[in-house]
């Protein structure tokens, strides 16, 4: 319930800053060919994810139908709007029901692909930090006490090292579970480079995230007030918006506000930034609801022989 309540609060907060009538006015003035192009890029990313999942399962001895993979992926995104991360469980369950893939094996491949996505996200963050080091450094020094940040960072590193040392030496049941989980994550990442189609996996992973970024960028072109966006603002907004999806169910309420935070760092006006966030989120949500809903309805008919 907490993510839902947070989302409701953020919706109320967002609409208190930008009225619904003002939001509608921005929506009327938007250039929808760019919004539509963003939807195409979003759709391509989802289809690529589904295709990537097919050959991830092949080394385990399962050749699943691409149709089932596509519908399972869209169902995942839709179900994540109810309970955060419930979609991943549903996705592995759909595979178990219709392709006879054991739940733990299907879920294991989902964890492995999420790790790969996390690695790409960390690369994007690192690139952003390297390109905008001076800006971020100056911002942090102006807003925060840099000495305290460094002390806090060193303290966290020391605590982390102590925790790792204790976990390695401990034979406690919880410690053993943590070690097993971490080893499993490492094994999952390394298994990507051992699969037969590892280069195809890497290509699709990069393609998925390229489509995400293109989707985000082209949609900004729909707003005249945002046509002069610096590349750094797009990168920072993309990163914050991506994390906002994990904060509430599907980014409800949090997505537009994350974009406002990012854009205002670069002295961009709040109202068009907030309007862009809402239209961006709404268009992608409609895409998920349409294709996710159709997928859930059509799955039993597609697999009626089972």
Measured between alpha carbons, how far is 143 from 9 in angstroms, rounded to an integer?
Answer: 26
Look at 43-52, 141-150, 192-201, 297-306 and tell me which has the smallest mean pLDDT: 141-150
Q: What's the pLDDT score for residue 194?
A: 67
User: At 189, is the pLDDT very low, low, confident or very high (cuts 50, 70, 90)?
Assistant: low
Measured between alpha carbons, how far is 217 from 206 in angstroms, rounded to an integer?
Answer: 16
Measured between alpha carbons, how far is 250 from 87 in angstroms, rounded to an integer?
Answer: 11
Instruction: Return the higher-pLDDT residue of 194 and 216.
Output: 216
C-alpha dihedral over 135, 137, 138, 141, to 10 degrees?
160
Q: What's the pLDDT score for residue 306?
A: 67
Q: Are 45 and 27 in contact (CB under 8 A)?
A: no
Q: Kind and range of the H or E element at 178? A: helix 173-192
Instruction: Return the higher-pLDDT residue of 223 and 131.
Output: 223
Q: What's the pLDDT score for residue 10?
A: 87
Mean pLDDT of 125-148: 70
How far is C-alpha 8 from the chain's CA centre? 20
User: At 190, is the pLDDT very low, low, confident or very high (cuts 50, 70, 90)?
Assistant: low
pLDDT 10s digits, 245-264: 878 888 888 899 999 988 88
Whether 13 has a pLDDT exceeding 70, the answer reads yes
Mean pLDDT of 222-230: 81
Instruction: Return the higher-pLDDT residue of 296 and 140.
Output: 296
Measured between alpha carbons, how far is 303 from 19 in angstroms, rounded to an integer?
Answer: 46
Measured between alpha carbons, how far is 200 from 113 in angstroms, rounded to an integer?
Answer: 13
Q: In the chain, pLDDT over 90 holds for what percent of residues?
A: 28
Highest mean pLDDT out of 52-61, 84-93, 279-288: 279-288
Say how many C-beta atoms besides its own lie within 10 A of residue 294's C-beta: 14
Measured between alpha carbons, how far is 178 from 215 in angstroms, rounded to an integer?
Answer: 37
Burial state string for 62-94 with b = 16 or more CB within 10 A and e = fewer than 16: bebeeebbbbbbbbbbbbbbeebeebbebbbeb
Delimit the domains of the chain by residue range: 2-302
User: At 61, is the pLDDT very low, low, confident or very high (cuts 50, 70, 90)?
Assistant: confident
């Amino acid at each position: 319930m907490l993510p839902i309540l947070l989302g409701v609060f953020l919706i109320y907060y967002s609409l208190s800053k930008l009225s619904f009538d003002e939001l509608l006015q921005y929506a009327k003035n938007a250039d929808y060919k760019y919004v539509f192009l963003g939807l195409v890029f979003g759709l391509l990313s989802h289809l690529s994810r589904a295709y990537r999942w097919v050959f991830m399962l092949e080394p385990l001895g399962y050749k699943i139908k691409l149709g089932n993979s596509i519908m399972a992926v869209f169902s995942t995104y839709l179900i994540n709007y109810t309970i955060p991360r419930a979609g991943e469980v549903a996705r592995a369950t759909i595979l178990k029901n219709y392709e006879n893939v054991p739940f733990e094996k299907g879920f294991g491949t989902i964890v492995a692909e999420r790790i790969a996505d996390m690695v790409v996200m960390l690369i994007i963050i690192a690139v952003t930090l390297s390109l905008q080091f001076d800006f971020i450094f100056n911002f942090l020094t102006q807003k925060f006490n840099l000495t305290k940040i460094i002390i806090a960072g060193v303290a966290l590193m020391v605590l982390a090292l102590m925790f790792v040392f204790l976990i390695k030496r401990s034979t406690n049941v919880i410690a053993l579970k943590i070690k097993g989980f971490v080893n499993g994550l490492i094994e999952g990442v390394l298994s990507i480079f051992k699969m037969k189609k590892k280069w195809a996996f890497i290509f699709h992973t990069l393609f998925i995230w390229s489509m995400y970024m293109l989707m985000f960028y082209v949609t900004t072109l729909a707003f005249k007030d945002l046509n002069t966006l610096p590349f750094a603002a797009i990168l920072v907004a993309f990163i914050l918006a991506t994390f906002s999806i994990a904060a509430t169910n599907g980014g409800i309420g949090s997505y537009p506000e994350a974009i406002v935070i990012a854009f205002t760092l670069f002295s961009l006006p709040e109202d068009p930034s907030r309007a862009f966030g809402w239209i961006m989120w709404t268009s992608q949500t409609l895409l998920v609801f349409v294709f996710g809903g159709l997928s859930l309805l059509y799955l039993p008919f597609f697999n009626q022989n089972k």
